[in-house]
Homo-oligomer: A and B are copies of this chain.
Amino acid sequence: MIKDLINSIYRISDNSYGEIDKLFEYRCYEAGETFVNKNQFNDKEYFLLNGICKSFLINPGGDEITLSFFGEKTVLSPHTIRTKNQLSLICVKSLTKAEAVTLDANKFAELMVSNIEIRNFGNQVLRNELADKMEKEIGMASLTAKERLLNFRKKYPSLENVIPHTDIATYLGITNVSLSRLRKEAAR
């Protein structure tokens, strides 16, 4: 199933998969566990098998601001862009019970150098990450909160009934009270 996850992003041969396969370590997280902490050492890549996670930052007021959600069978933001000097730039927590495999990020980076399929896979993950951020960026700059909510529903169907609304609200750039209001309007 990890192979399916990878192939759904960029198709690689069984040989190439074998090279990554050796690096996997299985992990299990409880709901609400923050397993990547800002400013702490981190040298892993994460492939999420099931469950839901969010990446977030703490704003000056002390609130968690959701950056992205990660559903089952997705890759968390790549190590290169998530860390500086091996220290994490963001936090990641599980919002449900979740299972994942981790890989040593340095060894994976070496594979990206030596194996073109793995490099293409890694670069595709990077591009997806950026495309995601650009999509969100233009939404924040040109759509109303209601439109952003509707986009959120398209992009993450079913998530709305599974995770705390506060996490969704900060993702949308509004308060949870406003979200409740928009939900009511959208229901009509």
Chain A interface residues toward B at CB < 8 A: 57, 59-61, 63, 65-67, 80-81, 84, 89-90, 113, 119, 123, 126-127, 129-131, 133-134, 136-138, 140-143, 170-173
Contacts and interface: CB of A to CB of B under 8 A. Distances in A.
B126 A57 contact: no
A142 B63 contact: yes
A21 B144 CA distance: 46
B138 A136 contact: no
A60 B151 CA distance: 14
Contact of A131 (B84, B138, B141): B84
Contact of A80 (B123, B140, B171): B123
Given A80-B123, A80-B127, A81-B126, A137 B141 contact: no
Given A59-B141, A63-B142, A140-B141, 7 more contacts: A59-B142, A66-B141, A113-B119, A129-B130, A133-B133, A137-B140, A142-B170
Contacts of A138: 57, 59, 65, 67
Contacts of A59: 138, 141-143
A133 B137 contact: yes
A188 B95 CA distance: 44
> How many copies of this chain does one complex carry?
2
B67 A134 contact: yes
A68 B16 CA distance: 37
27 contacts: A57-B134, A59-B141, A59-B142, A63-B142, A65-B138, A65-B141, A65-B142, A66-B141, A67-B138, A80-B126, A80-B127, A81-B126, A81-B129, A81-B131, A84-B127, A84-B131, A89-B134, A90-B134, A130-B130, A136-B137, A137-B137, A137-B140, A140-B173, A141-B171, A141-B172, A141-B173, A142-B170
